[in-house]
Amino acid sequence: MLNETHSKAIFYDTDMKKFLLSFAFILTSAVLFAQMKDSTSAWHYKTETYDCAIFPMGYIADNVIGKRFTPGFPDIDKAEHALLEQMLLQRDTTKKLPDMYRHIKKYKRQYFGYTNKDGHKILLINMFWDDDKYIKNWLKQMIMVQGGGSSYWNVKYDLDTNKLYDLQINNDE
């Protein structure tokens, strides 16, 4: 009788181990799948002076050409400092740059990192007016609109040379 009870306990213990291992495997698979599925969503990085989305290297953007990398928080901080220091020095045929600079805190930003043909690490900084009524998925997809004027613009920042360049402001229409 004692041996029979002991063998039943071993049987139940083995079944419980199989169940727990199966459950752990399913749970781990679900977590890994969720991470893989969401590997293109941006990280939300918000400070007192700026609110931005940092897109990982896995995100595919048509206008980001070159080997992609994921910018880190220090890269973003460096680029934000350059925006404040160098933005007014950019070539601007629209004459809207002073107003854009004055309201720079009201723009949300999207950061995309890539390496250019010279091997420099470049950040494409996509800027748009902080208006939740029109901009919903800014942490999941690159915001691109036709028109909108100075409410939508972008600029590139070279992490290696610490220079802003290639300012693009949308047309008004």
What is the average per-residue pLDDT within 18-47? Answer: 60
Measured CA to CA, the distance from residue 67 to residue 121 in angstroms comes to: 9
pLDDT at 72: 97
What is the average per-residue pLDDT within 11-25? Answer: 58
| CA 107 and chain centroid, separation | 15
Sorted by sequence, the CB contacts under 8 Å of residue 60 that are 6+ apart come out as 40
First to last CA, the chain: 89
pLDDT at 36: 37
Measured CA to CA, the distance from residue 8 to residue 21 in angstroms comes to: 20
Q: List, in sequence order, every beta strand (DSSP E) within 15-151.
A: 43-46, 51-54, 67-69, 107-115, 121-129
The answer, yes or no, to whether residue 148 has pLDDT greater than 90, is: no
- List pLDDT tens digits, range 78-103: 999 999 888 877 877 667 777 888 88
What is the average per-residue pLDDT within 24-37? Answer: 42
Instruction: State the pLDDT confidence band at 54, using cuts at 50, 70 and 90.
Output: very high
Nearest to 142 by CA among 75, 81, 52: 52
- List pLDDT tens digits, range 105-135: 999 999 999 999 999 999 999 999 877 656 7
pLDDT at 92: 72
Instruction: State the pLDDT confidence band at 58, using cuts at 50, 70 and 90.
Output: very high
Q: Sign of dihedral through CA atoms 121, 137, 170, 86?
A: negative
Exposed / middle / buried, residue 146 (Cβ in 10 Å: 0-12, 13-18, 19+): exposed
pLDDT at 34: 40
What is the average per-residue pLDDT within 152-156? Answer: 92
Measured CA to CA, the distance from residue 25 to residue 65 in angstroms comes to: 39
